[in-house]
Amino acid sequence: MGVVGGEAGVDHPPPDPVVRLEGLTKDYGRHRALDGIDLTVGPGEIFGYLGPNGAGKTTTIRLLLGLLRPTAGRATVLGLDSWRDSTAVHARAGYLPGEPTMNGRLTGRELVSYFAALRRRPADVTSATGLADRFDLDLDRRIRALSRGNRQKLAIVQAFMSDPDLVVLDEPTSGLDPLVQQEFHQLLGETTARGATVLFSSHVLNEVDRVADRVGIIRQGRLVAVEHLADLRAKALHRVEARITGPVDLGPFRSLDGVRDLTVEDGVLRCGVPRPSLDGLIKALGRYPVADLSVTEADLEELFLAYYSEASADAA
Ligand code: ATP
């Protein structure tokens, strides 16, 4: 989308995407783990990468960071080819792996100092110390003596300590208690406020709901949907339960756009309807004496499952 600037006739091009995946494909032997993924993520975005176990999330992330070589297609970060220019990509990106492996004999401080030295950015140790304080993490304990949650905090510190332009997080909040998660979400907000981009994989849907701007849903190596969360919510089914006295003619309810699972049992009408059909539903209900009514918005989990079943129905 071109943005027309203040000067007449000047059309400023959109900023380059921070992440660009083009036909990204990865085979492990004869198994195609990733099949032609196309995706762009822009500056300042928080992108949630969702999918069930084995869908290809970690493979995508490893390709994006140049830790794996694509079978076909390419990944770029800030215009740099992830495989060919992986050293330059690593200098610009922070990474929190799904299962961080760390030398248990080191202390947290030794670990962050090592990364700061690798990057030739000694000031990163100060930044890491600030982050550790914020997450109440003792950097002077040996890593092997840290609990799983504290190790995860250390992995977060390591991913964010260099103020990277892109932060890639593989299942970042596993093992974190709710208070720490809250602090972590705040950190994500601050990161994008300074213009950096966050891409994180998750199967914790409520988490994505809280922090992401857009989500991509991956299933069996294919991206089945990329949506703004606001649009996804607009498609969400509302679960309706209405207690009605007397017999009900289901005809007007059946003709509502997108109505699902319509039943009447013991005087209770139940169905799922998307938001645009709510008005029609209320009008159809208006012909009956309604003794009780409840409307609940489906959570993201239901939406997600609906997407999956639609995608598998399409495939069939
Ligand atoms: P999870 O949420 O369980 O981590 P994921 O979405 O990250 O899953 P991937 O780890 O990317 O999925 O795996 C995608 C597919 O590729 C799976 O079928 C997996 O078994 C397979 N796979 C992953 N790594 C390898 C490997 N090194 N060799 C062979 N197959 C692999």
Q: Determine contact, residues 237/274, Cβ cutoff 8 Å.
A: yes
222 CA from centroid of ligand 1 (Å): 13
Position 279 confidence tier, pLDDT thresholds 50, 70, 90: very high
d(CA 161, CA 73): 31
Q: Is the pLDDT of residue 8 over 50?
A: no
Q: Among the atoms of ligand 1, which is closest to the Cα of residue 31?
A: 30
Distance of CA 243 to the CA centre of its chain: 38
Q: Is the pLDDT of residue 7 over 70?
A: no
Q: Among the atoms of ligand 1, which is closest to the Cα of residue 221?
A: 14
Task: Tell me the average pLDDT across 97-102.
Answer: 84
What would the pLDDT profile of 262-274 be if each residue is shown by its tens digit?
999 999 999 999 8
What would the pLDDT profile of 22-56 be if each residue is shown by its tens digit?
999 999 999 999 999 999 999 999 999 988 888 89
d(CA 289, CA 271): 18
pLDDT at 5: 38
Number of Cβ atoms within 10 Å of the Cβ of 67:
17
170 CA from centroid of ligand 1 (Å): 13
Position 237 confidence tier, pLDDT thresholds 50, 70, 90: confident
> Which has more pLDDT, 224 or 297?
224
Q: Is the pLDDT of residue 222 over 80?
A: yes
d(CA 249, CA 55): 44
What would the pLDDT profile of 183-219 be if each residue is shown by its tens digit?
999 999 999 999 999 999 987 666 777 789 999 988 8
d(CA 202, CA 57): 9
Domains and CATH numbers, the chain: 19-232 (3.40.50.300), 237-297 (3.30.70)
* Single-letter residue type at 276: P
Query: At which residue do the structure tokens 């849907």 appear?
Result: 205
Task: Tell me the average pLDDT across 73-86.
Answer: 96
- What is the reported pTM? 0.79
For a mutational test of ligand 1's pocket, the pick from 37, 59, 71, 218, i.e. the residue with the most ligand atoms closer than 8 A to its C-beta, is 59
Position 6 confidence tier, pLDDT thresholds 50, 70, 90: very low
